[in-house]
Amino acid sequence: MFQSFGDAPGWYDQNGQLVSGSKTKEELREINLGGGLEYWYAKQFAFRAGYFWEHYTKGNRKYFTLGAGVRYSIFSIDLSYLIANTQRSPLANTLRFTLGFNFDKSKKKKQEAE
């Protein structure tokens, strides 16, 4: 596990020599940043927004997300829409959805009824 923090190969110059300090810079380029906000209304409706950033040498994924969710009984449905802010991104205009079941919630209702 600890080896993964130092496995970056670095980069080489035109003469085939490893550039000094390039391994550390390469490791720092592997850091992805992402963040988001979520608002729940009446513990039933959710509204979300987020952003993801990745260094251009590691994939160059940069996109915003917008989403919404609904909970009803033990069921939940979440939708998100991805807005890429790089040209020709394969992730552009992606719609994602999740269908969830919270079985633990139904057990709590039965216990409360007893």
Domain ranges (residues) in the chain = 1-30, 32-113
pLDDT at 12: 73
Q: Are strands 45-53 and 94-101 parallel, antiparallel or unpaired?
A: unpaired
pTM of the model: 0.71
H helices of the chain, in order, are 22-29, 103-113
Q: With beta carbons less than 8 A apart as the criterion, state whether 64 and 51 touch.
A: yes
Predicted confidence (pLDDT) per residue in 83-111, tens digit:
998 878 888 889 999 999 998 865 665 66
pLDDT at residue 80 above 80? yes
Question: Cβ distance 76 to 97 under 8 Å?
Answer: no
Rg (CA), the chain: 22
Q: How confident is the model at residue 63 (pLDDT cuts 50, 70, 90)?
A: very high
17-34 per-position pLDDT tens digit: 777 667 777 888 888 999
